Amino acid sequence: MRVVLSLGGGIINPDGKPDVELIKKMGSILVESKYDFGIVTGGGRVARIYAEAARELGANEFEADEVAIITTKQNAKLLIAALGEVAYPKVLNDFDDAAQAAFEKKVVVMGGTIPGITTDTDSVLLAEKLHAKRLVNISNVDAIYSANPRTNPKAKRYEKLTYEQLIKLAVEGDKRMAGQNFVFDLLACKLAARSKIELHFVSGKNVSDIENAIEGKKHSGTVVRN
């Protein structure tokens, strides 16, 4: 069985610098797991910084996306380094290539693909391509909330959601800007709903939650399914 992970750039490079220990920890979890994996890495704060710099220099949104995508691929390369022999050695740019590589290695890793498509959407598309029925979103937020819990202490925390409820939250939060940070983008939500891909949202700092989510077991984050 193959599980897809959407690995947020915010846990790979939380302060603009790679968290080497966390990347090593993620590598160990994946190497020791009984599952095979498809992984898509985000860009995080670094991608947002570069996207904004590109805009200030005159780039349009397409071009700002291109700049941000480069950072996602750098993060993917770091994860591949931590995985060693179990990972396909190249960052994959194409879903067909990723599916082919999945026959050869336990883990295949992608960054972003094309401008206008977030790594959230890339991860769901990869899950569809690999026939994965479980996707784990690992970020620096421990669950899905009704609003940003950092700025709104009254934000409601969700243990379970349906696809329809998740889509409603995404409509409110997805502004479709390069480097924007939101729970899960609208297109990704709709793609997951059409293929009934079970979604798990957990914190990258909670190893037991990550392991339980990969296994489809109970954890302290959010589960999305019908």
Q: How many CB atoms lie within 10 A of CB 32?
A: 9
Q: Which domain holds residue 116?
A: 2-224
| 141, 169 Cβ separation under 8 angstroms | no
Task: Please give the model's pTM, rounded to 2 decimal places.
Answer: 0.93
- Going by the DSSP 8-state scheme, the letter that residue 87 receives in this structure is B
- The residue with tokens 């620096």 is 140
Total of domains in the chain: 1
- The residue with tokens 């996207």 is 51
Per-residue tens of pLDDT for the chain, all 226 residues: 999 999 999 999 998 899 999 999 999 999 999 999 999 999 999 999 999 999 999 999 999 999 999 999 999 999 999 999 999 999 999 999 999 999 999 999 999 999 999 999 999 999 999 999 999 999 999 999 988 788 888 889 999 999 999 999 888 765 544 444 457 889 999 999 999 999 999 999 999 999 999 999 999 999 999 8
CA-CA distance, 151 to 170, in Å (whole number)? 18
Burial class (CB in 10 A: 0-12, 13-18, 19+), 8: buried
CA-CA distance, 140 to 123, in Å (whole number)? 17
Which pLDDT tens digit goes with each residue over 71-82?
999 999 999 999
Q: Where are the beta strands (DSSP E) in 111-225?
A: 134-139, 144-145, 157-158, 160-161, 198-203, 222-224
> Domain of 219: which CATH number?
3.40.1160.10
